[in-house]
């Protein structure tokens, strides 16, 4: 059984010491594709570097809502660099981008501006987007529907377990990527939400090194744990885990295409 982890951060400092060993183990245990996601200029450069040196890894580049510089000027400079980085053949999406009113409430306008400008970039160079949205459902949907629709669609990464967001996201043509929280014992509506999304629109991810699923909760996460996400989906949908693995693999290959 092969698995595709649609979202992980091997560009995070928590992997600095043993990245090569971890990546080797991951591949050998059957996670034969994964997307390493950037969240600012430096991590985007690193994601490309990792993808260049490992054939099974794809990269994304972008400025996350939690990494937006204070001034418009600095943002514009970083955006220029992200646009250049996006030209690399390893880059398969712009992201993670979006809105996060949980960690940052005081710069909503800057967040929206950064989100819109990066969707514009993705549209200009024909790439999908990877969306990070937290406590910002209405503004996220408003931007995606009205202000700046994403031409090549994309993915709701670590999708909030919010039925309205998922309903609207599916209507817009986006993929829903499930992560560790669907396995947490206190996730109230995980089952309803999993049932709500058809298999052909589901991706699975770890968001490593964060959000380790049950039964590994609290440890440094890595892509080997993506199996627990697949198992939970299989359990809720009442289908074999191999079927979830295969469908999510094909879905991820469809949305992430190396140039």
Chain residues in the site for Ni ion (CB under 5 A): 207
**Structure tokens belonging to residue 199:** 């298999």
Structure tokens at 88: 């690399």
Q: Minimum distance between the CB of residue 64 and Ni ion, rounded to whole angstroms?
A: 8
> Considering beta carbons, is residue 98 or 169 the nearer one to Ni ion?
98
Q: Which lies closer to Ni ion via its Cβ, residue 139 or residue 207? A: 207
CA nearest 97: which of 38, 45, 48, 161?
38
CB-wise, 23 or 191, nearer to Ni ion? 23
66 vs 242 by CB, closer to Ni ion? 66
Residue 180 tokens, joined: 């560790």
Instruction: Give residue for tokens 């967040």.
Output: 111
Question: Which of 81, 83, 39, 79 shows the shortest CA–CA distance to 63?
Answer: 39
Coil/strand/helix, residue 43:
helix
Compare residues 23 and 155 and give the one whose CB is closer to Ni ion.
155
Q: How far is the CB of 73 from Ni ion (least distance, A)?
A: 26
Are the beta carbons of 209 and 15 closer than 8 angstroms?
yes
Helix axes 72-85, 41-53, angle to 10 degrees: 10
Least distance to Ni ion, CB of residue 146, Å: 26
Taking alpha carbons only, the member of 127, 43, 137, 150 closest to residue 99 is: 137
In whole angstroms, the minimum distance from the beta carbon of 234 to Ni ion comes to: 24
Specify the residue, 220 or 236, whose C-beta has the smaller distance to Ni ion: 220
**Phi, psi of 221, rounded to the nearest 5 degrees:** -80, 145
């Amino acid at each position: 059984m092969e698995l595709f982890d649609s979202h992980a951060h091997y560009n995070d400092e928590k992997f600095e010491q043993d990245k090569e060993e971890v990546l080797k183990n991951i591949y050998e245990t059957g996670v034969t594709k994964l997307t390493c996601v950037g969240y600012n200029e430096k991590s985007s450069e690193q994601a490309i570097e990792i993808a260049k040196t490992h054939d099974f890894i794809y990269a994304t580049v972008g400025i996350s809502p939690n990494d937006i510089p204070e001034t418009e000027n600095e943002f514009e400079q970083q955006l220029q660099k992200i646009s250049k980085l996006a030209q690399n053949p390893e880059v398969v999406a712009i992201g993670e981008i979006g809105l996060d009113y949980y960690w940052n409430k005081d710069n909503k306008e800057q967040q929206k501006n950064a989100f819109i400008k990066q969707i514009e970039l993705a549209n200009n160079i024909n790439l999908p987007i990877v969306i990070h949205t937290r406590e910002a459902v209405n503004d996220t949907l408003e931007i995606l529907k009205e202000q700046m629709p994403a031409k090549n669609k994309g993915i709701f990464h670590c999708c909030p377990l919010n039925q309205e967001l998922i309903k609207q996201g599916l209507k817009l043509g986006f993929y829903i990527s499930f992560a560790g929280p669907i396995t947490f014992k206190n996730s109230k509506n995980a089952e309803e939400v999993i049932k709500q999304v058809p298999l052909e629109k589901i991706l699975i991810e770890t968001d490593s090194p964060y959000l380790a699923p049950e039964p590994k909760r609290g440890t440094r996460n890595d892509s080997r744990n993506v199996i627990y996400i697949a198992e939970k989906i299989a359990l809720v949908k009442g289908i074999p885990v191999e079927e979830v693995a295969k469908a999510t693999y094909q879905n991820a290959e469809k949305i992430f295409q190396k140039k």
